[in-house]
Structure 1
Protein backbone atom coordinates (compact mmCIF):
# COMPACT_ATOMS: atom_id res chain seq x y z
CA UNK A 1 0.00 0.00 0.00
CA UNK A 2 1.28 3.49 -0.87
CA UNK A 3 1.89 5.62 2.20
CA UNK A 4 -0.17 8.77 2.68
CA UNK A 5 1.71 11.50 4.53
CA UNK A 6 -0.26 13.94 6.68
CA UNK A 7 0.83 17.54 7.16
CA UNK A 8 -0.28 17.54 10.80
CA UNK A 9 2.38 14.91 11.48
CA UNK A 10 5.08 17.35 10.34
CA UNK A 11 3.88 20.65 11.76
CA UNK A 12 3.96 21.70 15.42
CA UNK A 13 1.03 23.85 16.61
CA UNK A 14 1.14 27.33 15.10
CA UNK A 15 3.31 26.31 12.15
CA UNK A 16 1.95 26.73 8.62
CA UNK A 17 4.67 25.11 6.51
CA UNK A 18 7.50 22.59 6.63
CA UNK A 19 10.98 23.11 5.18
CA UNK A 20 13.54 20.41 4.56
CA UNK A 21 16.81 19.73 2.76
CA UNK A 22 18.25 16.35 1.90
CA UNK A 23 21.03 14.70 -0.08
CA UNK A 24 19.99 11.72 -2.22
CA UNK A 25 22.06 8.89 -3.60
CA UNK A 26 20.95 6.19 -5.99
CA UNK A 27 17.85 4.29 -4.80
CA UNK A 28 17.10 1.25 -6.95
CA UNK A 29 13.38 1.22 -6.14
CA UNK A 30 12.37 4.57 -4.61
CA UNK A 31 9.38 4.35 -2.30
CA UNK A 32 6.43 6.35 -3.54
CA UNK A 33 3.87 8.16 -1.42
CA UNK A 34 1.10 10.74 -1.63
CA UNK A 35 -0.13 13.23 0.93
CA UNK A 36 -2.83 15.63 2.09
CA UNK A 37 -0.80 18.77 1.29
CA UNK A 38 0.95 20.54 -1.56
CA UNK A 39 4.71 20.60 -1.97
CA UNK A 40 7.35 22.54 -3.85
CA UNK A 41 10.82 21.12 -4.31
CA UNK A 42 13.87 22.10 -6.30
CA UNK A 43 17.33 20.71 -7.07
CA UNK A 44 20.26 22.81 -5.86
CA UNK A 45 23.05 20.45 -6.94
CA UNK A 46 23.46 17.26 -8.92
CA UNK A 47 20.77 15.31 -10.74
CA UNK A 48 18.07 12.77 -9.98
CA UNK A 49 14.87 11.14 -11.10
CA UNK A 50 11.39 12.06 -9.97
CA UNK A 51 8.99 9.11 -10.11
CA UNK A 52 5.40 10.31 -10.56
CA UNK A 53 2.45 7.97 -11.11
CA UNK A 54 4.80 5.29 -12.46
CA UNK A 55 6.66 7.59 -14.87
CA UNK A 56 10.30 8.68 -14.40
CA UNK A 57 11.48 12.22 -15.12
CA UNK A 58 15.13 13.26 -15.00
CA UNK A 59 15.86 16.45 -13.07
CA UNK A 60 19.03 18.50 -12.68
CA UNK A 61 20.25 21.58 -10.82
CA UNK A 62 17.66 24.31 -11.27
CA UNK A 63 14.72 21.93 -11.70
CA UNK A 64 11.64 23.16 -9.82
CA UNK A 65 8.64 20.88 -9.27
CA UNK A 66 5.16 21.60 -7.90
CA UNK A 67 3.65 18.49 -6.31
CA UNK A 68 -0.11 17.88 -6.10
CA UNK A 69 -1.49 16.07 -3.06
CA UNK A 70 -2.67 13.16 -5.21
CA UNK A 71 0.64 12.61 -7.00
CA UNK A 72 2.09 9.19 -6.22
CA UNK A 73 5.71 10.16 -6.25
CA UNK A 74 9.21 9.39 -5.01
CA UNK A 75 12.75 10.48 -5.72
CA UNK A 76 16.20 9.03 -6.30
CA UNK A 77 19.62 10.41 -7.06
CA UNK A 78 21.67 9.10 -9.97
CA UNK A 79 24.72 6.83 -9.76
CA UNK A 80 27.92 8.61 -8.69
CA UNK A 81 26.17 12.00 -8.53
CA UNK A 82 24.99 13.49 -5.25
CA UNK A 83 21.66 15.25 -5.53
CA UNK A 84 20.81 18.02 -3.06
CA UNK A 85 17.12 18.81 -2.82
CA UNK A 86 15.12 21.38 -0.84
CA UNK A 87 11.37 21.28 -0.31
CA UNK A 88 8.56 23.28 1.26
CA UNK A 89 5.24 21.66 2.20
CA UNK A 90 2.03 23.52 3.09
CA UNK A 91 -1.72 23.12 3.33
CA UNK A 92 -3.72 22.97 0.12
CA UNK A 93 -6.03 25.62 1.59
CA UNK A 94 -3.13 28.07 1.83
CA UNK A 95 -2.52 27.95 -1.91
CA UNK A 96 -6.25 28.01 -2.67
CA UNK A 97 -6.57 31.25 -0.71
CA UNK A 98 -3.66 32.80 -2.64
CA UNK A 99 -5.03 31.60 -5.97
CA UNK A 100 -8.60 32.75 -5.31
CA UNK A 101 -7.45 36.18 -4.17
CA UNK A 102 -4.74 36.96 -6.72
CA UNK A 103 -4.85 34.51 -9.63
CA UNK A 104 -8.49 33.50 -9.99
CA UNK A 105 -8.45 34.27 -13.72
CA UNK A 106 -5.31 32.20 -14.39
CA UNK A 107 -4.73 28.44 -14.68
CA UNK A 108 -4.07 26.70 -11.38
CA UNK A 109 -0.33 26.11 -11.09
CA UNK A 110 -0.91 23.02 -8.90
CA UNK A 111 -3.67 21.43 -10.99
CA UNK A 112 -3.13 17.73 -11.72
CA UNK A 113 -3.44 18.47 -15.44
CA UNK A 114 -0.88 21.31 -15.34
CA UNK A 115 2.75 21.04 -16.42
CA UNK A 116 4.30 21.38 -12.97
CA UNK A 117 8.02 21.00 -13.68
CA UNK A 118 10.20 23.98 -14.60
CA UNK A 119 13.87 24.42 -15.40
CA UNK A 120 15.17 27.64 -13.85
CA UNK A 121 18.10 29.61 -15.15
CA UNK A 122 20.91 30.32 -12.68
CA UNK A 123 19.47 33.81 -12.21
CA UNK A 124 15.99 32.44 -11.47
CA UNK A 125 17.40 29.84 -9.07
CA UNK A 126 19.13 32.64 -7.18
CA UNK A 127 15.81 34.45 -6.90
CA UNK A 128 14.14 31.28 -5.63
CA UNK A 129 16.79 31.02 -2.89
CA UNK A 130 16.07 34.61 -1.94
CA UNK A 131 12.33 33.98 -1.82
CA UNK A 132 12.78 30.84 0.31
CA UNK A 133 15.36 32.39 2.67
CA UNK A 134 12.80 33.48 5.28
CA UNK A 135 11.39 29.96 5.62
CA UNK A 136 14.83 28.36 5.38
CA UNK A 137 15.79 30.59 8.31
CA UNK A 138 13.07 29.13 10.50
CA UNK A 139 9.96 31.24 9.82
CA UNK A 140 6.83 29.07 9.74
CA UNK A 141 4.07 31.70 9.95
CA UNK A 142 1.12 31.95 7.58
CA UNK A 143 2.51 35.28 6.36
CA UNK A 144 5.87 33.66 5.54
CA UNK A 145 4.42 30.86 3.42
CA UNK A 146 2.01 33.26 1.68
CA UNK A 147 4.92 35.57 0.79
CA UNK A 148 6.84 32.62 -0.59
CA UNK A 149 3.90 31.42 -2.70
CA UNK A 150 3.23 34.88 -4.11
CA UNK A 151 6.88 35.24 -5.08
CA UNK A 152 6.92 31.71 -6.49
CA UNK A 153 3.89 32.44 -8.66
CA UNK A 154 5.62 35.53 -10.03
CA UNK A 155 8.85 33.60 -10.56
CA UNK A 156 7.28 30.99 -12.82
CA UNK A 157 5.12 33.48 -14.62
CA UNK A 158 1.64 33.05 -13.15
CA UNK A 159 1.33 36.77 -12.54
CA UNK A 160 3.58 37.93 -15.34
CA UNK A 161 5.93 39.96 -13.12
CA UNK A 162 9.23 38.14 -12.93
CA UNK A 163 8.64 36.63 -16.37
CA UNK A 164 8.81 40.20 -17.73
CA UNK A 165 12.09 40.93 -15.98
CA UNK A 166 14.81 41.59 -18.58
CA UNK A 167 17.37 38.80 -18.58
CA UNK A 168 20.18 41.36 -18.28
CA UNK A 169 18.70 42.55 -14.97
CA UNK A 170 18.06 39.07 -13.55
CA UNK A 171 21.59 38.08 -14.57
CA UNK A 172 23.14 41.19 -12.99
CA UNK A 173 21.35 40.50 -9.70
CA UNK A 174 22.54 36.88 -9.69
CA UNK A 175 26.11 37.94 -10.53
CA UNK A 176 26.16 40.42 -7.65
CA UNK A 177 26.72 37.60 -5.21
CA UNK A 178 29.08 35.68 -7.47
CA UNK A 179 31.30 38.73 -7.96
CA UNK A 180 31.08 39.77 -4.28
CA UNK A 181 31.25 43.43 -5.29
CA UNK A 182 29.03 44.34 -2.38
CA UNK A 183 31.26 47.19 -1.16
CA UNK A 184 30.37 49.13 -4.34
CA UNK A 185 26.67 49.09 -3.42
CA UNK A 186 24.23 49.99 -6.24
CA UNK A 187 27.15 51.03 -8.47
CA UNK A 188 28.06 47.35 -8.76
CA UNK A 189 24.56 46.46 -9.96
CA UNK A 190 24.72 49.22 -12.56
CA UNK A 191 28.15 48.07 -13.76
CA UNK A 192 27.08 44.43 -14.00
CA UNK A 193 23.89 45.40 -15.84
CA UNK A 194 25.78 47.52 -18.35
CA UNK A 195 22.98 50.09 -18.40
CA UNK A 196 22.65 53.65 -17.14
CA UNK A 197 21.85 54.18 -13.43
CA UNK A 198 18.50 55.69 -14.39
CA UNK A 199 17.59 52.74 -16.62
CA UNK A 200 18.55 50.22 -13.94
CA UNK A 201 16.60 52.07 -11.25
CA UNK A 202 13.54 52.29 -13.49
CA UNK A 203 13.55 48.58 -14.37
CA UNK A 204 14.21 47.49 -10.76
CA UNK A 205 11.25 49.56 -9.62
CA UNK A 206 9.01 48.22 -12.42
CA UNK A 207 9.92 44.56 -11.93
CA UNK A 208 10.43 44.31 -8.18
CA UNK A 209 8.88 47.41 -6.65
CA UNK A 210 12.20 48.17 -4.94
CA UNK A 211 15.24 50.40 -5.29
CA UNK A 212 18.69 49.26 -6.47
CA UNK A 213 19.91 49.68 -2.88
CA UNK A 214 17.16 47.30 -1.72
CA UNK A 215 18.22 44.74 -4.33
CA UNK A 216 21.88 44.97 -3.34
CA UNK A 217 21.00 44.59 0.34
CA UNK A 218 18.86 41.55 -0.47
CA UNK A 219 21.80 39.97 -2.33
CA UNK A 220 24.08 40.80 0.60
CA UNK A 221 21.72 39.13 3.05
CA UNK A 222 21.22 36.06 0.83
CA UNK A 223 25.02 35.72 0.65
CA UNK A 224 25.29 36.21 4.43
CA UNK A 225 22.65 33.54 5.06
CA UNK A 226 24.54 30.98 3.00
CA UNK A 227 27.85 31.81 4.69
CA UNK A 228 26.21 31.43 8.10
CA UNK A 229 24.64 28.11 7.16
CA UNK A 230 27.56 26.58 5.31
CA UNK A 231 30.69 27.90 7.07
CA UNK A 232 32.02 28.64 10.54
CA UNK A 233 33.11 32.16 9.55
CA UNK A 234 32.69 34.68 12.35
CA UNK A 235 29.77 37.07 12.00
CA UNK A 236 31.85 40.23 11.74
CA UNK A 237 33.88 38.66 8.94
CA UNK A 238 30.66 37.88 7.07
CA UNK A 239 29.53 41.46 7.68
CA UNK A 240 32.73 42.75 6.06
CA UNK A 241 32.38 40.29 3.16
CA UNK A 242 28.95 41.82 2.54
CA UNK A 243 30.61 45.20 2.05
CA UNK A 244 29.37 46.55 5.37
CA UNK A 245 31.54 47.87 8.17
CA UNK A 246 28.78 48.69 10.67
CA UNK A 247 27.83 45.50 12.51
CA UNK A 248 24.66 47.05 13.94
CA UNK A 249 23.48 47.96 10.43
CA UNK A 250 24.29 44.42 9.26
CA UNK A 251 22.20 42.96 12.10
CA UNK A 252 19.25 45.23 11.26
CA UNK A 253 19.36 44.28 7.58
CA UNK A 254 19.70 40.58 8.35
CA UNK A 255 16.83 40.53 10.84
CA UNK A 256 14.60 42.38 8.36
CA UNK A 257 15.46 39.90 5.60
CA UNK A 258 15.36 36.63 7.57
CA UNK A 259 13.38 37.33 10.74
CA UNK A 260 16.23 36.30 13.02
CA UNK A 261 19.64 37.48 14.18
CA UNK A 262 22.63 36.01 12.34
CA UNK A 263 23.57 33.77 15.28
CA UNK A 264 19.98 32.54 15.71
CA UNK A 265 19.71 31.91 11.97
CA UNK A 266 22.89 29.81 12.04
CA UNK A 267 21.58 27.76 14.98
CA UNK A 268 18.16 27.26 13.39
CA UNK A 269 19.56 26.21 10.04
CA UNK A 270 21.89 23.66 11.57
CA UNK A 271 19.05 22.21 13.63
CA UNK A 272 16.98 21.90 10.45
CA UNK A 273 19.78 20.23 8.51
CA UNK A 274 20.73 17.99 11.42
CA UNK A 275 17.13 17.08 12.15
CA UNK A 276 17.34 17.93 15.85
Structure 2
Protein backbone atom coordinates (compact mmCIF):
# COMPACT_ATOMS: atom_id res chain seq x y z
CA UNK A 1 0.00 0.00 0.00
CA UNK A 2 1.18 3.51 -0.83
CA UNK A 3 2.36 5.62 2.11
CA UNK A 4 2.10 9.40 2.25
CA UNK A 5 3.58 11.74 4.85
CA UNK A 6 1.36 14.49 6.26
CA UNK A 7 2.80 17.79 7.47
CA UNK A 8 1.36 19.70 10.41
CA UNK A 9 2.10 23.01 8.72
CA UNK A 10 -0.67 22.17 6.27
CA UNK A 11 -3.23 21.75 9.08
CA UNK A 12 -2.49 24.55 11.55
CA UNK A 13 -3.79 28.06 11.13
CA UNK A 14 -1.47 30.96 11.89
CA UNK A 15 -0.42 30.97 15.55
CA UNK A 16 -2.24 27.73 16.42
CA UNK A 17 -0.38 25.15 18.54
CA UNK A 18 -2.70 22.23 17.76
CA UNK A 19 -5.44 21.01 15.43
CA UNK A 20 -8.68 19.51 16.79
CA UNK A 21 -11.26 17.41 14.95
CA UNK A 22 -14.37 15.55 16.13
CA UNK A 23 -15.81 13.58 13.25
CA UNK A 24 -17.34 10.35 11.96
CA UNK A 25 -15.05 7.92 10.15
CA UNK A 26 -15.83 6.54 6.71
CA UNK A 27 -16.46 2.79 6.44
CA UNK A 28 -14.51 2.48 3.18
CA UNK A 29 -10.94 1.15 3.36
CA UNK A 30 -8.23 3.78 2.99
CA UNK A 31 -6.55 4.18 -0.39
CA UNK A 32 -3.18 4.78 1.27
CA UNK A 33 -1.51 4.66 4.66
CA UNK A 34 0.18 7.70 6.18
CA UNK A 35 2.87 8.85 8.55
CA UNK A 36 3.30 12.44 9.75
CA UNK A 37 5.69 14.95 11.30
CA UNK A 38 3.60 15.44 14.46
CA UNK A 39 2.12 13.58 17.42
CA UNK A 40 -1.50 12.52 17.29
CA UNK A 41 -3.86 11.61 20.13
CA UNK A 42 -7.05 9.82 19.07
CA UNK A 43 -10.06 8.78 21.18
CA UNK A 44 -12.81 6.46 19.91
CA UNK A 45 -15.73 8.42 21.33
CA UNK A 46 -18.53 6.24 19.95
CA UNK A 47 -18.80 2.98 18.02
CA UNK A 48 -15.75 1.05 16.84
CA UNK A 49 -13.03 1.32 14.19
CA UNK A 50 -10.57 -0.87 12.37
CA UNK A 51 -7.04 0.42 12.76
CA UNK A 52 -4.27 -0.75 10.46
CA UNK A 53 -0.91 0.21 11.97
CA UNK A 54 2.64 -0.90 11.26
CA UNK A 55 1.49 -4.01 9.46
CA UNK A 56 -1.15 -5.21 11.93
CA UNK A 57 -4.92 -4.69 12.12
CA UNK A 58 -6.97 -4.33 15.30
CA UNK A 59 -10.59 -3.56 16.11
CA UNK A 60 -10.70 -0.58 18.45
CA UNK A 61 -13.73 -0.37 20.68
CA UNK A 62 -15.37 2.66 22.23
CA UNK A 63 -13.03 4.22 24.79
CA UNK A 64 -9.74 3.37 23.05
CA UNK A 65 -7.25 6.21 23.53
CA UNK A 66 -4.24 6.07 21.19
CA UNK A 67 -0.89 7.85 21.41
CA UNK A 68 0.32 7.86 17.80
CA UNK A 69 3.92 8.71 16.94
CA UNK A 70 5.19 10.43 13.77
CA UNK A 71 6.58 7.27 12.14
CA UNK A 72 3.62 5.02 12.90
CA UNK A 73 2.29 4.00 9.46
CA UNK A 74 -1.48 3.69 9.78
CA UNK A 75 -5.06 4.33 8.72
CA UNK A 76 -8.54 4.09 10.27
CA UNK A 77 -11.94 3.05 8.99
CA UNK A 78 -15.26 2.76 10.82
CA UNK A 79 -16.75 -0.63 11.57
CA UNK A 80 -19.78 -0.96 9.31
CA UNK A 81 -22.09 -2.40 11.96
CA UNK A 82 -21.47 0.33 14.54
CA UNK A 83 -20.00 3.33 12.75
CA UNK A 84 -17.39 5.36 14.59
CA UNK A 85 -17.03 8.88 15.93
CA UNK A 86 -13.49 9.89 16.80
CA UNK A 87 -11.83 12.81 18.58
CA UNK A 88 -8.39 13.61 17.17
CA UNK A 89 -5.79 16.11 18.37
CA UNK A 90 -2.56 16.71 16.45
CA UNK A 91 0.32 18.92 17.55
CA UNK A 92 4.00 19.56 16.90
CA UNK A 93 6.46 17.11 18.44
CA UNK A 94 8.36 19.93 20.14
CA UNK A 95 5.17 20.94 21.95
CA UNK A 96 5.33 17.73 23.96
CA UNK A 97 8.94 16.51 23.89
CA UNK A 98 10.09 18.98 26.53
CA UNK A 99 7.39 17.56 28.86
CA UNK A 100 9.16 14.21 28.94
CA UNK A 101 12.44 16.02 29.63
CA UNK A 102 10.86 17.81 32.59
CA UNK A 103 8.67 14.97 33.89
CA UNK A 104 10.74 11.98 32.86
CA UNK A 105 9.93 9.92 35.94
CA UNK A 106 6.25 9.90 34.95
CA UNK A 107 6.40 9.99 31.16
CA UNK A 108 9.64 8.49 29.83
CA UNK A 109 9.18 5.24 27.94
CA UNK A 110 5.41 5.67 27.78
CA UNK A 111 2.71 7.35 25.72
CA UNK A 112 4.37 8.99 22.68
CA UNK A 113 7.85 8.04 23.86
CA UNK A 114 7.76 4.24 23.78
CA UNK A 115 10.08 2.21 21.56
CA UNK A 116 7.49 -0.56 21.14
CA UNK A 117 6.59 -1.71 17.64
CA UNK A 118 3.00 -0.53 18.14
CA UNK A 119 1.65 2.77 19.49
CA UNK A 120 0.35 2.71 23.04
CA UNK A 121 -3.38 2.46 23.65
CA UNK A 122 -5.32 2.89 26.89
CA UNK A 123 -8.88 1.72 27.39
CA UNK A 124 -11.26 4.18 29.03
CA UNK A 125 -14.45 3.02 30.73
CA UNK A 126 -17.16 4.60 32.90
CA UNK A 127 -16.24 7.85 34.69
CA UNK A 128 -12.73 7.75 33.23
CA UNK A 129 -14.19 7.68 29.72
CA UNK A 130 -16.40 10.68 30.52
CA UNK A 131 -13.39 12.54 31.90
CA UNK A 132 -11.37 11.76 28.78
CA UNK A 133 -14.13 13.05 26.49
CA UNK A 134 -14.74 16.19 28.53
CA UNK A 135 -11.03 16.99 28.77
CA UNK A 136 -10.62 16.57 25.02
CA UNK A 137 -13.72 18.56 24.08
CA UNK A 138 -12.47 21.54 26.10
CA UNK A 139 -9.89 21.98 23.35
CA UNK A 140 -12.58 22.46 20.72
CA UNK A 141 -13.46 26.01 21.75
CA UNK A 142 -10.30 26.96 23.65
CA UNK A 143 -7.66 29.36 22.35
CA UNK A 144 -5.27 27.09 20.49
CA UNK A 145 -2.20 28.14 22.42
CA UNK A 146 0.93 26.26 23.45
CA UNK A 147 -0.06 26.56 27.12
CA UNK A 148 -3.45 25.00 26.36
CA UNK A 149 -2.10 21.96 24.53
CA UNK A 150 0.53 21.36 27.23
CA UNK A 151 -2.12 21.55 29.94
CA UNK A 152 -4.29 19.11 27.99
CA UNK A 153 -1.48 16.60 27.49
CA UNK A 154 -0.46 16.60 31.14
CA UNK A 155 -4.10 16.20 32.19
CA UNK A 156 -4.62 13.25 29.84
CA UNK A 157 -1.38 11.50 30.78
CA UNK A 158 -1.40 12.05 34.54
CA UNK A 159 -5.05 12.42 35.58
CA UNK A 160 -7.18 10.61 33.00
CA UNK A 161 -5.31 7.52 31.86
CA UNK A 162 -5.63 4.37 33.93
CA UNK A 163 -2.06 3.11 34.20
CA UNK A 164 -3.18 -0.43 34.95
CA UNK A 165 -4.99 -0.93 31.64
CA UNK A 166 -2.25 -0.47 29.09
CA UNK A 167 -1.43 -2.24 25.87
CA UNK A 168 -1.02 -1.28 22.25
CA UNK A 169 -3.21 -0.80 19.25
CA UNK A 170 -3.11 -4.45 18.16
CA UNK A 171 -4.31 -5.87 21.49
CA UNK A 172 -7.08 -8.45 20.94
CA UNK A 173 -10.46 -7.26 22.28
CA UNK A 174 -10.75 -10.31 24.57
CA UNK A 175 -7.42 -9.43 26.21
CA UNK A 176 -8.49 -5.82 26.66
CA UNK A 177 -11.69 -6.99 28.33
CA UNK A 178 -9.69 -9.25 30.66
CA UNK A 179 -7.58 -6.23 31.64
CA UNK A 180 -10.74 -4.31 32.44
CA UNK A 181 -12.21 -7.22 34.40
CA UNK A 182 -9.01 -7.54 36.45
CA UNK A 183 -9.76 -4.16 38.04
CA UNK A 184 -12.67 -5.72 39.93
CA UNK A 185 -11.96 -7.26 43.38
CA UNK A 186 -13.91 -10.42 42.61
CA UNK A 187 -11.50 -11.04 39.72
CA UNK A 188 -8.11 -9.96 41.09
CA UNK A 189 -8.71 -11.86 44.34
CA UNK A 190 -8.43 -15.03 42.26
CA UNK A 191 -5.04 -14.00 40.92
CA UNK A 192 -3.91 -15.06 37.47
CA UNK A 193 -6.71 -17.65 37.38
CA UNK A 194 -9.29 -14.85 37.53
CA UNK A 195 -7.58 -13.02 34.67
CA UNK A 196 -7.46 -16.16 32.52
CA UNK A 197 -11.12 -16.96 33.25
CA UNK A 198 -12.12 -13.43 32.23
CA UNK A 199 -10.20 -13.80 28.98
CA UNK A 200 -12.13 -16.93 28.07
CA UNK A 201 -9.11 -18.53 26.41
CA UNK A 202 -6.68 -21.28 27.33
CA UNK A 203 -4.11 -20.54 30.04
CA UNK A 204 -1.04 -20.90 27.82
CA UNK A 205 -2.54 -18.77 25.05
CA UNK A 206 -3.52 -16.02 27.50
CA UNK A 207 -0.01 -16.02 29.03
CA UNK A 208 1.62 -15.85 25.62
CA UNK A 209 -0.59 -12.97 24.41
CA UNK A 210 -0.20 -11.10 27.70
CA UNK A 211 3.58 -11.21 27.33
CA UNK A 212 3.31 -10.01 23.75
CA UNK A 213 0.88 -7.14 24.33
CA UNK A 214 1.43 -6.17 27.97
CA UNK A 215 5.06 -7.17 28.34
CA UNK A 216 4.28 -9.11 31.55
CA UNK A 217 2.51 -12.29 32.66
CA UNK A 218 -1.10 -12.32 33.92
CA UNK A 219 0.25 -13.03 37.42
CA UNK A 220 2.45 -9.93 37.42
CA UNK A 221 -0.37 -7.85 35.93
CA UNK A 222 -2.88 -8.91 38.59
CA UNK A 223 -0.38 -8.50 41.44
CA UNK A 224 0.24 -4.92 40.29
CA UNK A 225 -3.50 -4.22 40.61
CA UNK A 226 -3.63 -6.00 43.99
CA UNK A 227 -0.83 -3.82 45.36
CA UNK A 228 -2.49 -0.64 44.09
CA UNK A 229 -5.66 -1.73 45.90
CA UNK A 230 -3.67 -2.48 49.06
CA UNK A 231 -1.91 0.88 48.96
CA UNK A 232 -5.23 2.69 48.64
CA UNK A 233 -6.65 0.77 51.61
CA UNK A 234 -3.56 1.42 53.74
CA UNK A 235 -3.74 5.14 53.10
CA UNK A 236 -7.48 5.60 53.51
CA UNK A 237 -8.71 3.12 56.15
CA UNK A 238 -7.96 1.65 59.57
CA UNK A 239 -8.33 -1.89 58.23
CA UNK A 240 -5.65 -4.25 59.55
CA UNK A 241 -2.81 -5.22 57.21
CA UNK A 242 -3.77 -8.89 57.39
CA UNK A 243 -7.36 -8.03 56.47
CA UNK A 244 -6.17 -5.94 53.52
CA UNK A 245 -4.01 -8.83 52.32
CA UNK A 246 -7.03 -11.15 52.44
CA UNK A 247 -9.10 -8.56 50.55
CA UNK A 248 -6.44 -8.73 47.84
CA UNK A 249 -6.82 -12.51 47.72
CA UNK A 250 -3.46 -13.23 49.39
CA UNK A 251 -3.46 -15.47 52.47
CA UNK A 252 0.31 -15.81 52.82
CA UNK A 253 1.42 -12.67 54.70
CA UNK A 254 5.08 -13.22 53.87
CA UNK A 255 4.18 -13.24 50.17
CA UNK A 256 2.03 -10.13 50.59
CA UNK A 257 4.85 -8.22 52.30
CA UNK A 258 7.30 -9.31 49.61
CA UNK A 259 5.00 -8.14 46.79
CA UNK A 260 4.24 -4.83 48.49
CA UNK A 261 7.88 -4.02 49.14
CA UNK A 262 8.75 -4.90 45.53
CA UNK A 263 6.13 -2.40 44.27
CA UNK A 264 6.56 0.46 46.74
CA UNK A 265 10.01 -0.03 48.25
CA UNK A 266 8.73 -0.05 51.84
CA UNK A 267 6.69 -2.34 54.09
CA UNK A 268 2.89 -1.91 54.28
CA UNK A 269 3.26 -0.54 57.81
CA UNK A 270 5.81 2.07 56.74
CA UNK A 271 3.63 3.03 53.78
CA UNK A 272 0.66 3.54 56.07
CA UNK A 273 2.70 5.71 58.45
CA UNK A 274 3.54 8.11 55.65
CA UNK A 275 0.31 8.10 53.63
CA UNK A 276 -2.35 7.88 56.34
CA UNK A 277 -1.50 11.21 57.95
CA UNK A 278 -4.41 13.63 58.06
CA UNK A 279 -3.22 17.27 58.11
CA UNK A 280 -6.78 18.53 58.51
CA UNK A 281 -7.75 16.31 61.45
CA UNK A 282 -4.47 14.95 62.89
CA UNK A 283 -4.82 12.09 65.34
CA UNK A 284 -1.56 12.54 67.22
CA UNK A 285 2.20 12.19 66.88
CA UNK A 286 5.20 14.30 67.75
CA UNK A 287 4.29 17.07 65.30
CA UNK A 288 0.71 17.51 66.53
CA UNK A 289 0.30 20.59 68.71
CA UNK A 290 -1.96 20.34 71.77
CA UNK A 291 -5.00 22.57 71.33
CA UNK A 292 -7.34 23.81 74.02
CA UNK A 293 -10.65 22.01 74.36
CA UNK A 294 -13.45 23.40 72.21
CA UNK A 295 -17.16 23.33 73.01
CA UNK A 296 -19.05 20.54 71.20
Pairwise TM-score range, normalised by the shorter structure: 0.5 to 0.7
- The C-alpha deviation readout for 1:126-163, integer Å capped at 9, x for no partner, is 111222233111421001100001001112257xxxxx
**Correspondence for 2:122 among 118, 123, 141:** 118
Which of 1 and 2 has greater Rg? 2
Match of 1:156 in 2: 161
Match of 1:47 in 2: 48
Deviation of 1:82 (Å): 1.3
- The C-alpha deviation readout for 1:14-44, integer Å capped at 9, x for no partner, is 1100000121232234531000000000111
Instruction: Compare relative contact order (CA 8 Å, sep 6+) and give the higher one, 1 or 2.
Output: 1
Normalised by the length of structure 1, the TM-score is: 0.54
- The C-alpha deviation readout for 1:21-69, integer Å capped at 9, x for no partner, is 1212322345310000000001111111111012101101101111000
Count matched residues: 162
CA 1:39–1:2 in 2, change beyond 3 Å: closer, same or farther? same
1:21 aligns with 2:22: yes
Contact 2:38–2:70 (Cα < 8 Å) also in 1: yes
Match of 2:140 in 1: 136
Secondary structure of 2:112's counterpart equals coil
Q: Report the Cα distance in structure 1 between the residues aligned to 2:135 and 2:30, rounded to whole angstroms.
A: 33
Q: Report the Cα distance in structure 1 between the residues aligned to 2:67 and 2:37, rounded to whole angstroms.
A: 14
CA 1:102–1:130 in 2, change beyond 3 Å: closer, same or farther? same
Q: Structure 1 unaligned runs (5+)?
A: 159-166, 168-198, 200-205, 207-276
CA 1:47–1:153 in 2, change beyond 3 Å: closer, same or farther? same
What CA RMSD, in Å, does the superposition of the two structures yield over aligned residues?
2.3
Q: Report the Cα distance in structure 2 between the residues aligned to 1:111 and 1:27, rounded to whole angstroms.
A: 31
Normalised by the length of structure 2, the TM-score is: 0.51
Match of 2:131 in 1: 127
Contact 1:63–1:117 (Cα < 8 Å) also in 2: yes
Deviation of 1:2 (Å): 1.3
